[in-house]
Structure 1
Amino acid sequence: MTLTWVDGYPAAGVPVHDRGVAYGDGLFETIRVVDQRPLLLSRRLQRLEAGCQRLDIPCQPEQLRAQILEFSAALGDGVAKLILTRGDGQRGYAPPRPSSPRTLLLGSPAPAYPREHAERGVQLYPCATRLAEQPALAGMKHLNRLEQVLARSEWQDPAFAEGLMRDMSGRVIEGVYSNIFLISKGVLQTPSLERCGIAGVMRAEILERAQRAGIAVEVCDVSFEALLAADEVFVCNSLYGIWPVRQLKSHVWPLGPLTRKLQNLIADLSSGT
C-alpha cells in the first residue's frame, strides 16, 4: 500500500515554496510499521524534537505522535517516512519568522532484504565519498543527503549490500544508510558522531540493550586500522536490524558470537534499523 499525507490529511503533493524542497530545510524519519504499530516511535520523536530545537523549527511532539499513529493504522504494514520541513518561505536562505512547519507522511511496502544478509553477512563497498565535518548538524537526520547520494552512486554491483563512509580525516563513521559497530576483545564499539554522521535509533537501542545485557560498550573515534583489526563487525538500521559484515575489499571478518547475541537481543525489532 502507498499513502501520502500532508499535515495529517491525504494529499497529492507539497507546495513548491516549501523550504524542504528549496533548501533541504527540515528533518525526516523512516519508520518500520508492523501490524499498525510504528516501531521505536518514542526514540524517533525524541530525536526529531532535539533536531527541531537545534534547527529552531517549532515542534509539537504529541501532535506528531498522533499523526504517525493514525497514519500507521491506515498503512497497516510497511514503511512510513515522516518529513518535517520549516514550511513555506520566500526566495533566500533567511528563515521566515515565525515559521509554519509542514509534515509529510509517505507510506510504502517494507523492503524485501535477502535473509542471507542477516544470516551469512554482507560485503561493504569502500566509498570514496567522504563525510564533511559539521558539528552543528552532526547526529541529526536532516534532509541534506547529497553525500549519501554520491556515495551510493559509486557502485551498482549487487554483491555489495552497503558502503563504508569515512570522514575527511579518514575516521570510520557509518554506512551509507546504516550505523556501524565493531567488537574488539569483547568490547562493543561504535564511532563517535560529534563531527558528522547520523545517530540512528537502532544504534541507540543496541547500545542500551547491550549495556543491560552486561556487554561493555564504548562510543569513540574509530580509525580505519582499528576497523580492520576488529574481531567482529556489523551494520544496523531500524528496517533490517543487524547485518554481520564479512568482507571489505580483501579483508574478511568471521561471523562472531557477540554479533549473533545482539541479533537475538533485538529480534523483536529486526523481525518486524
Structure 2
Amino acid sequence: MLVHGSDRQTLAPNDRAALYGDALFETLLWSQTHLVLAPLHWQRLLSGAARLQITLDPQVLQAFVTDIEATLKTQASDKFCAVRVSVHRSVDARGYAFSDQTTPELVCLINTAPMSSPRPVDLGVSPIHLARQPLLAGLKHANRLEQVMASQSLADQGYEDGLMCLETGPVVCTTRANVYALIDDVWHTPLLNDAGVAGTRRAWFLQESEQGFWQTKESELTLDQLYQADAVMISNALRGFQEVGSIAGRPLRASPQIARVKQRYADALAPEAC
C-alpha cells in the first residue's frame, strides 16, 4: 500500500473512509507499461471530489500519480495490475461534519489484474435493489454495501455478477459494470441520475459515439428490453467490454457490433492511444 507523503503502510485510526465510507476511489488497469485511459480516471476523481467538497489539489494528485507510475514501472513492467487509487477526506475533529478539512489522504493498492474470459458472461438479477440518491449518483464512492450484499446474494445463486435495478424497475448496472443494450442499431445505456457509477469505459464509449463510431443513447432500460435486445454487453476498467450471453438463464442474441466495439477498445489500450 502506498500512502502519499507518508511511510505508513496502514490507515490512520480515524480514517474517514474506514469509519464512514467518506472517500472516492478509482480502479485502473496497468497494462505492462502504462495506466490505461488514465485521464478519464483523474477527471472523474477530481470531479467527484468537487461534488463531495473534498479539498483535492490537482497538483497533489499528480505528484502521487507520478510516484505510483514510478513504482509500477519498477515492479510491474511486464504485468497487468489492478491499481486502486483512493482519496479519503481528512478532518481532525470527530463526527460526520467536515467543516475543518485538512489535506485528504491519498492511498494506492496494487494487485494482479483478473483475467478476462473471451466467453460471453452469464448474468443473474440481484434481488437487492439500488437506492435512489441523486447526490451520489454517478460517483465511485467508498460506500459499496449495496454491491457487497448483492454480490453475495448472486454468488449464492451461482452467478459471478448480476444486474442491479432501482426498486421501481429500471436497470442501472451490474454489481461492478455498466450495461449496454443494442436496440435498432443504437446502443442504449442506463441513465445514472439516481444511482450507479459513471464508469470510465462508459465515458470512453460515449466519446467514441460522438466521433461517429456508433450510435448511443442514455435511456431508461427495463429487464424486458434487455431480454429482447439485439445484443447486450457490460464494461468496467479491468475487464473491458464483455458480451452478455444470458440473463437469469435466458439466452440473449449476439451481434457482430460487439466485436467491433472490442476491436476499437483494443486499439485504445495501446500506449500511444493512452
Structure 1 residue 111 displacement after superposition: 1.4
Structure 1, unpaired ranges of 5+: none
Note the 1:212-227 alignment, pairs <5 A: 212-227=211-226
Which shifted more, 124-133 or 81-90?
81-90
Note the 1:16-55 alignment, pairs <5 A: 16-55=13-52
SS for the counterpart of 1:12 is coil
Aligned to 1:107: 110
Query: Cα RMSD between the aligned structures?
Result: 1.9
Contact 1:239 1:270 in 2 (8 A): no
Structure 1 residue 156 displacement after superposition: 2.8
Structure 1 residue 270 displacement after superposition: 6.1
Contact 1:27 1:51 in 2 (8 A): yes
1:7 aligns with 2:4: yes
Q: 2:28 is matched by which residue type in structure 1?
A: I
Equivalent-residue separation in structure 2 for 1:173 and 1:95 (angstroms): 30
Q: 2:37 is matched by which residue type in structure 1?
A: L
Note the 1:95-174 alignment, pairs <5 A: 95-113=98-116, 115=117, 118=118, 120-156=119-155, 160-174=159-173
Which structure 1 residue ranges, 4+ long, deviate > 3 Å from structure 2? 268-272
Structure 1 residue 188 displacement after superposition: 0.7
Equivalent-residue separation in structure 1 for 2:262 and 2:270 (angstroms): 10
Same amino acid, percent of matched pairs: 30
CA distance 1:87–1:121, change in 2 (3 Å):
same
Aligned to 1:186: 185
1:72 aligns with 2:69: yes
Equivalent-residue separation in structure 2 for 1:81 and 1:246 (angstroms): 29
Equivalent-residue separation in structure 1 for 2:269 and 2:128 (angstroms): 29
- Give per-residue Cα distances to partners, 1:55-80, cap 9 Å, x unaligned: 11111223212312321231234121
Aligned to 1:204: 203
Contact 1:202 1:238 in 2 (8 A): yes
CA distance 1:265–1:158, change in 2 (3 Å):
farther
Equivalent-residue separation in structure 2 for 1:81 and 1:245 (angstroms): 26
CA distance 1:170–1:83, change in 2 (3 Å):
same
1:86 aligns with 2:86: no
Aligned residues: 265
Contact 1:207 1:217 in 2 (8 A): yes
Length-normalised TM-score, structure 2: 0.90
CA distance 1:159–1:151, change in 2 (3 Å):
closer
SS for the counterpart of 1:101 is strand
Which shifted more, 218-227 or 93-102?
93-102
Aligned to 1:241: 240
Length-normalised TM-score, structure 1: 0.91
Structure 1 residue 36 displacement after superposition: 3.8
- Give per-residue Cα distances to partners, 1:98-134, cap 9 Å, x unaligned: 3321100111111123x3xx3x301001101100000
Aligned to 1:254: 253
Q: 1:254 is matched by which residue type in structure 2?
A: R
Structure 1 residue 90 displacement after superposition: 3.1
Structure 1 residue 35 displacement after superposition: 2.7
Equivalent-residue separation in structure 1 for 2:101 and 2:160 (angstroms): 43
Equivalent-residue separation in structure 2 for 1:17 and 1:238 (angstroms): 30
